[in-house]
Amino acid sequence: MATGGRLLQRVRNAPSQLPQFHVVGFTGHRQLADWPKADQYVRGALDALRREAAGQWIGVSSAAAGSDLVFAQAVLDAGFSWEAILPLPAGDFRKDFTPEDWQRAEALLGRAESVRVTTPDGDREEAYLNCGIETVNACDVFLALWDGEPARGRGGTAEVVAYARELVRPLIVIDPATGETRRENFEHFKEADAELDFLNALPEAPGLTGPPANSRELVDHIQRKADHAASRGAPRFRLLTSSTVLLHVGATVIATAGLAFEWHPILVPWAKLLFLLGALGAALAIRFSRTQHRWVRCRLSAEIGRAALAAWDMPRNTALFVDLDLPEIRQLVRSLHVLHQRAAPERRANLDTFRQHYRTTRLDDQLAYYRRRLEQAEPQLRRLRLGFSLSTVLAILFTAWYAVHETFGLGPAGFLVEAIAFYYLPIVLPVAAAAFISLASINDLHRRVARYREMCQLLETVHKQLIVTQTWRSLEQLVRRTERALLQEVLEWHTLMSHLESH
């Protein structure tokens, strides 16, 4: 098993770099004709994986009698850590064992890095199938000790292998009788994760000196440098995107003035050309410099890291990211989960200390942030709405004036009045109205104002609830709900912003 000391040494050798973790899942038959040979085949497959892919390997499986116990023992002997996924609570699960086999399983479970149950109650066969599905979902490579025959019951090896094939999961199938090994879908195996490499390669945040001393400091360094990169990227993106709109408006204003006032000096077309080239340049800068994509991915990583740090000192490993399965952050979430899990001996906070710390460093900080953002966004939205409304109303009035004047043949209004009221403003004002509403959309102001209000209300409520929590269980539930809500807001923003493009 990878020890905390070995992990810390890796941290010190590569400051502010999250380690890469690979997961190998397993399924196999309960009845084995030749236990030693099966053990040999499994160990050979694990050795091959370790040679082929750098990083730390984690084994994930159930602990059913037979092949699962062979795999668990081989994983631990190979120096991997092992996470157990049980189909049923231990009391029900042990009914499927002989006393001797259960004694062995219980000893191995005592060495597992974590143990979780997929089906606390329900149908037994369904529980075993759910356990197999969760094992496939959790892994990068799936190893099956399988004779190729159909499943003898629901949740059997054949059904779990079929599910792995449906997901196109890299698969190693070993015949337990002959040792014949077949690999499938290994073109989809990623030895390195591009998003994790990107995050690790970010420049260090200002003020950080020296390598992290422990796992928590490592996560803090990663979070701070992602936050710093996101903070630097956001203003550039919004400035460039807003510039494309304003420069197009400028080009329209100049072109319309030339037509309406019969004003054709040589500088007019050149000025229009410069505005259009500027708008194109800003759009190209956004697209090809990847400014927006970099900003979004850094901000998402920073907020996930912030959530992990907020719950770090909980005595139990609070499952903040169970339902968070975005492909681009899968390795980040896994690294944070493993580091948090392995840092359990470092956590010493008592309930009152943690509650006070969470209130001041998380709730108060987030509440101040959302209030500050609301105070900034609301006036911006009001001004843009006012600009849109005035531009639209004035455009309607001038257009109606022009229509009435032409329909009823009213007398001439004078060249300057007609140029401004009939030809210039009816074109420029709708463009200005569209610009106002576009700027509100570019800056995501409608959603942001609504969400900031909701988040302020939520955090104020949590602040009151936190005062009356008296047990770790109730505090853990409150922290989990709060962090999920905060992450949900970030994920909603990520979905909206990650697919926007400038045209």
The 3-class secondary structure across 24-72, one letter per residue, is EEEEECCCCCCHHHHHHHHHHHHHHHHHHCCCEEEEEECCCCCHHHHHH
Choose one of 132, 153, 188: the last residue of a domain.
188
Q: Are residues 158 and 227 in the same domain?
A: no
pLDDT band at 155, cuts 50/70/90? Answer: low
CA separation for the pair 431, 329 (Å, rounded): 40
The yes-or-no verdict on residue 479 having pLDDT over 80 is: yes
pLDDT tens by residue, 316-339: 666 677 667 777 888 998 999 888
Residue 426 shares a structural domain with residue 470: yes
| 379 and 281 part of one domain | yes
pLDDT > 90 fraction of the chain, expressed in percent and rounded: 53
* Per-residue pLDDT tens digits for 376-414: 999 999 999 999 999 999 999 999 999 998 888 787 778
Q: What share of the chain is helix, strand, coil (3-state, %, to 5)?
A: 65, 5, 25
- In SS3 terms, 59-109 reads as EEECCCCCHHHHHHHHHHHCCCEEEEEECCCHHHHHHHCCHHHHHHHHHHH
CA distances from 314 to 17, 93, 274 (A): 24, 28, 58
Check whether 9 has a pLDDT greater than 60: no
Residue 261's domain spans which residues? 215-497
CA dist list (Å): 142 to 27, 73, 109, 134, 201: 8, 17, 21, 12, 30
Q: Is residue 374 included in any domain, yes or no? A: yes
Neighbours of 239 (CB within 10 A): 11
Pair 182, 231 in one domain: no
Measured between alpha carbons, how far is 219 from 308 in angstroms, rounded to an integer?
Answer: 8
Could you tell me if 169 and 308 lie in one domain?
Answer: no
What pTM, to 2 d.p., does this model score?
0.80
| Shared-domain flag, residues 370 and 452 | yes
Domain presence at residue 2: no
In a domain, 198, yes or no: no
Flag whether 417 is in a domain.
Answer: yes
Mark whether 238 and 178 lie in a shared domain.
no
432 domain-assigned: yes
**Residue where one domain finishes, among candidates 173, 188, 203:** 188
Structural Rg of the chain based on CA atoms: 31
**Looking at the 3D structure of the chain, how many domains does it have?**
2
DSSP code, position 144:
E
Does residue 168 sit in the same domain as residue 222?
no
Position 3 in a domain = no
Residue of 130 and 210 predicted with greater confidence: 130
Cβ neighbours of residue 347 closer than 8 Å, sequence gap 6 or more:
312, 313, 314, 315
146 and 53 in a common domain: yes
444 domain residue, yes or no: yes
Verify that 476 and 423 share a domain, yes or no: yes
In a domain, 1, yes or no: no
* Conformation bin of residue 66: beta by default, left when phi > 0, alpha when psi is -120 to 50: left
Q: Which of residues 153, 171, 188 is at a domain's end?
A: 188
Residue 182 three-state SS = strand
Place of tokens 């779990």: 160
Model confidence at 362: pLDDT above 90? yes
Token pair 């690999």 is found at 183
Helix ranges (H only) for 261-350 are 267-288, 291-310, 330-342
Q: What tokens does 309 get?
A: 């740090």
Instruction: Give the tokens for residue 134.
Output: 């969760």
Residues 241 and 371 in one domain: yes
Taking CA atoms, 76 is separated from 32, 42, 80, 82, 236, in Å, by 20, 12, 5, 7, 49
Give the distance, in angstroms, between the CA of residue 380 and the centroid of all CA atoms in the same chain: 29
pLDDT surpassing 80 at residue 500: no
Q: According to the model, what pLDDT value does residue 317 have? A: 62
Q: Is the pLDDT of residue 209 over 80?
A: no
Cα–Cα distance for residue pair 422/419, rounded to 1 Å: 6
Is residue 7 over pLDDT 60? no
Task: State residue 497's pLDDT score.
Answer: 73
Residues in contact with 202: Cβ distance below 8 Å, sequence separation at least 6, in sequence order? 225, 226, 228, 229, 298
One domain for residues 83 and 155: yes
C-alpha pair distances (Å), 58 with each of 139, 458, 489:
9, 38, 31
Cα separation, 216 vs 159, whole angstroms = 40
Q: Which residues contact 57 (CB under 8 A, 6 or more apart)?
A: 21, 22, 23, 24, 46, 49, 50, 78, 80
Mean pLDDT of the chain: 87
